[in-house]
Amino acid sequence: YAHFNTSNNPGAYNLDGTLPTDADVIYINEDNKNSLTHYSKYTGLKKILEQYAKQNKPLVIRIIGQVNASGLSGLSSQMIDVKGSAGLTIEGVGTDACIYGWGFNISGIEDLEIRNITFSWNYEDAVGMQNAKHVWVHDNTFTVGHQDWKPTEHDKNNGDGSCDAKRSDFVTVSYNHFKGTAKSILLGSSKSSREDVGHFTYHHNFFDGAEQRLPRVRWHDVHIYNNYYKYS
């Protein structure tokens, strides 16, 4: 569904896999997560993402190695806000790209791709979406989260969702590995609050000892096919 009702490939890349000539590419690692300057004057991952929404040009953020929550500027509930509609791809480089202890709060965005990243020890959602459209989350690994000391809610000892969504439309979650996750995928804000029907696809995901919500669906039009469920 992420590719439905749009002429674009979700994210910064063209449909043929090339980058548009006006796209920006930046590399984020543990050492430069707060010091990298882009758009001439905006420093740090949080500020760069805030300004992306205003630039009206595609952006690729490439994650190198493990980027930790510890010391990362701009976290709110261990999440960084992602907004905008010019085409954004957040992707891991190689096999060891890891978001550790934090996640992305995707709100009011259209045209986003997240791929090839391991999300580990997330406090709230690893990937949380609200009011988002044309989002493609694929080829990632989600592992167990944590709130093992005074969790904010009674069922969050192992963090919140791995890839949750509410009030969103045209989203595909595919080819991901959910490894021992707890509250894996929730679709919809609450059982009593009916949302406008969104369109979601979940395919070719590996639920590897995942505990629950595979996915848990409320008020939406959903494709679920060719997923593999393994219980440990």
Residues known to be catalytic: 213
Sign of the Cα torsion 107, 6, 227, 189 reads positive
Side-chain-side CA neighbours of 111 within 13 Å: the count stands at 21
Question: What's the distance, CA 124 to chain centroid?
Answer: 12
Angle, alpha carbons 42-117-11 (nearest 5°): 60
**What length does the chain have?**
232
Angle, alpha carbons 32-13-208 (nearest 5°): 75
222 closest CA partner among 188, 194, 189, 180: 188
Where do we find the tokens 């929730």? Answer: 186
Distance CA 126, CA 48 (A): 19
